[in-house]
Chains A and B, each alone.
Chain A
Amino acid sequence: MKTVKKFLAVLLAAVTVFSLSACGSDPNQTTGTAPAASASSEAEKSGPDDSKNVKIGVLVSDVTSAEALAFRAYYEEYIQKQYNVTFMYSDELADAAAEASAIDNFIANNCKAIISFASADRPAQIEQCEANGVYYAVATGTLTDEQYEKFKSYKYYVGAIGPDLMTEYMAGYNMAKSFLDQGYKYFGMFGGATPYYTEMHIYRAAGMLVAMCEAGKGTYLGASDFGGMIGAIYGAGCQLAPAVIGDVELVGYVGGYDFDDAWFGKLAAVANDPKVEVLLAVGSGQTAFAGFKREGQKLGDIDCYTKDSVALMESGTLNYLAGKFSASIGPIFMATLSAVQGHPIRNAEGNAFAIGQGYWVADNAETAKEYFAVDSSKTEPAYTRAMLDTLYGASYQDFENFVKAYSFDEIKNLAK
Chain B
Amino acid sequence: MKIGKRIIGTLALPLLTLLAVWLISGARGVALFETQLNLLTFIRAAANVMLVTFALAINLNSGRFDFSVGSVALLSSVISSKLALALGWGPLAMLLVSICAGALLGLISGAVYVTVKLPPIIVSLAVALFFEGLAFTITGGHGVSFANKASLLGFSTIPNFLIIIVLTLLFMIIIFDHTRFGYEYKALLSGQKVAVNTGIREIPNALLCYTIAGALMGAQGFISATTNGTIQMSLNFGSISPMFMAFLPMFIGGFIGRFSNDKLGYFLGAVCSALISLLYVRLNVSSSVQQITSALLLVGFLIYLNNEGKLKALFVRKERGV
- Quick check: do A and B touch in the complex, using CB within 8 A? yes
Which listed residue, A254, A269, A287, touches B41 by the CB 8 Å rule? Answer: A269
Contact of A239 among B41, B229, B245, B286 (CB under 8 A): B286
Pairwise interchain contact A268-B37, C-beta atoms closer than 8 A: yes
B236 sits at the interface (CB 8 A): yes
Taking residues whose C-beta sits less than 8 angstroms from the other chain, chain A's interface range is 35 or more
| A265 in contact with B232 (CB, 8 Å) | no
Complex contacts, A264 vs chain B, CB 8 Å: 41, 44, 224, 227-228
Contact partner, B232, options A255, A266, A287, A290, Cβ 8 Å: A287
Which of the segments B145-153, B168-176, B251-259 contacts the partner chain?
B145-153
In the complex, B235 has a CB within 8 A of chain A: yes
Q: Are B148 and A317 in contact (CB under 8 A)?
A: yes
- The interface size of chain B toward A, counting residues with CB under 8 Å, comes to 42
Minimum Cβ distance to chain A for residue B241 (Å): 8
In the complex, which residue of chain A has the Cβ closest to the Cβ of B34? Answer: A269
How far apart sit A91 and B141, CA to CA, in the bound complex (Å)? 12
Would you give 17 A-B contacts (Cβ < 8 Å), ordered by A?
A: A63-B235, A64-B136, A69-B141, A92-B235, A241-B284, A255-B286, A261-B44, A261-B49, A262-B45, A265-B44, A265-B45, A265-B280, A268-B37, A287-B145, A290-B145, A312-B147, A317-B148
Q: How does the 8 Å CB contact mask read for B1-44 relative to A, with 1 for contact and 0 for none?
A: 00000000000000000000000000000000001011011001
Q: Is A287 in contact with B228, judged by CB distance below 8 angstroms?
A: yes
- What residues make up the interface of B, taking CB atoms closer than 8 Å to A? 35, 37-38, 40-41, 44-45, 48-49, 136, 140-143, 145, 147-148, 153, 156, 224, 226-230, 232-236, 241, 245, 274, 277-278, 280-281, 284-287, 290
A308 contacts partner chain B, Cβ-Cβ < 8 Å? yes
Which residues from B are CB-within-8-Å of A43?
none
* Chain A residues whose C-beta falls within 8 Å of the C-beta of B229 in the assembled complex: 290-291
CB distance from B318 to the nearest CB of A (A): 39
Residues in chain A near residue B40, CB distance under 8 A: 268
Q: Is A145 part of the contact surface with B, judged by Cβ < 8 Å? A: no
- Are B140 and A262 in contact, CB atoms less than 8 angstroms apart? no
Which chain B residue shows the least CB distance to A272?
B37
Residue from A69, A255, A261, A266 within 8 A of B274 (CB atoms): A261
A residues 249-269 near B (Cβ < 8 Å) are 253-256, 258-269
Q: Do the beta carbons of A291 and B227 come within 8 Å of each other?
A: yes
Contact B148 A265 (CB under 8 A): no
Once the chains bind, are B145 and A286 in contact (CB under 8 Å)?
yes
CA distance A311 to B229 in the complex (A): 13
Asked whether B147 lies within 8 Å of A265 as measured between CB atoms, the reply is: no
A292 adjacent to chain B (CB < 8 Å): yes
Chain A, residue nearest B290 (CB): A262
Nearest residue in A to B48 (C-beta to C-beta)?
A261
In whole Å, how far is A221's beta carbon from the nearest beta carbon of chain B? 16
Are B41's CB and A291's CB within 8 A?
A: no
Instruction: Find residues 230-285 in chain A having any chain B CB closer than 8 Å to their own CB.
Output: 239, 241, 253-256, 258-269, 272
Within the complex, the shortest CB–CB distance from A390 to chain B, in Å, comes to 32
Closest to B136 in A: A64
Judge if A66 is at the interface, Cβ distance under 8 Å. yes
Interface flag for A288 (CB, 8 Å):
yes
Bound Cα distance from A254 to B41, whole angstroms: 15
CB-based A-B contact count at 8 angstroms: 106
The answer to the question of A401 belonging to the interface, with a C-beta cut-off of 8 Å to chain B, is no
What distance in Å separates the Cβ of B45 from its nearest Cβ neighbour in chain A? 4
User: How far, in angstroms, from A69 to B147 measured CA to CA in the complex?
Assistant: 19
Task: Tell me if A195 counts as interface (CB < 8 A to partner B).
Answer: yes
Chain A, range 81-96, C-beta contacts under 8 Å to B: 91-92
Q: Are B232 and A64 in contact (CB under 8 A)?
A: yes
Q: What residues of chain B lie closer than 8 Å to A29, measured between beta carbons?
A: none
CA distance A272 to B241 in the complex (A): 27
Contact B284 A266 (CB under 8 A): yes
| A286 cross-chain contacts in B, Cβ below 8 A | 145, 147, 230
A92 to B236, CA, bound (A): 9
Please measure, in the bound complex, the distance between the C-alpha atom of A253 and the C-alpha atom of B285, giving whole angstroms.
11
In the bound complex, residues from chain B placing their C-beta under 8 Å from that of A290 are 145, 147-148, 228-230
Given contacts A64-B232, A64-B233, contact A263 B287 (CB under 8 A): yes
For residue A182, CB closer than 8 A to chain B, the reply is no
Question: Which of the residues B48, B153, B280 comes within 8 Å of A291, measured between beta carbons?
Answer: B153
Nearest B-chain residue to A315, judged by Cβ: B148
Cβ contact within 8 Å between A266 and B281: yes
Report A280-317 CB contacts with B as 1/0, cut-off 8 Å: 00000011101110000000000000101001100101
* Distance of A87 Cα from B227 Cα, bound (Å): 37
Instruction: Evaluate whether A66 and B290 lie within 8 angstroms (CB atoms) in the complex, with A92-B236, A262-B277, A272-B35 already known.
Output: no
B286 pairs with A292, CB closer than 8 A: no
B147 A260 Cβ-Cβ under 8 A: no
How distant is B233 from chain A, measured CB to nearest CB, in Å?
4
User: Which residue of the partner chain, among B38, B232, B285, contacts A259 with CB atoms under 8 Å?
Assistant: B232
**Candidate in B45, B141, B274, B281 with the most chain A CB atoms within 10 angstroms:** B281
Q: In the complex, which residue of chain B has the Cβ closest to the Cβ of A196?
A: B287
Q: Which of B142, B147, B280 contacts A262 (CB 8 A)?
A: B280
Docked pose: A259 CA to B233 CA in angstroms: 12
Q: Is the CB of B277 within 8 A of A260?
A: yes
Extra A-B contacts (7), CB below 8 Å, given A64-B233, A290-B148: A255-B286, A261-B49, A262-B277, A266-B280, A266-B281, A272-B37, A291-B153
User: Given that A286-B230, A287-B230 are known contacts, is A317 also in contact with B235, CB under 8 Å in the complex?
Assistant: no
Instruction: Give a binary string over A153-165; 1 marks a CB under 8 Å from any B CB, 0 the rest.
Output: 0000000000000
Given the complex, which residues of A lie within 8 Å of B45, measured CB to CB? 261-262, 265
B281→A291 contact, CB < 8 A? no
Q: Which 5 A-B pairs have the closest CB atoms?
A: A290-B147, A291-B229, A265-B281, A261-B45, A291-B228
Complex formed: what's the CA distance from A287 to B143 in Å? 11
- Measured in the bound complex, the distance between the Cα atoms of B224 and A265 in whole Å is 12
Closest CB in chain A relative to B104 CB, distance in Å? 24
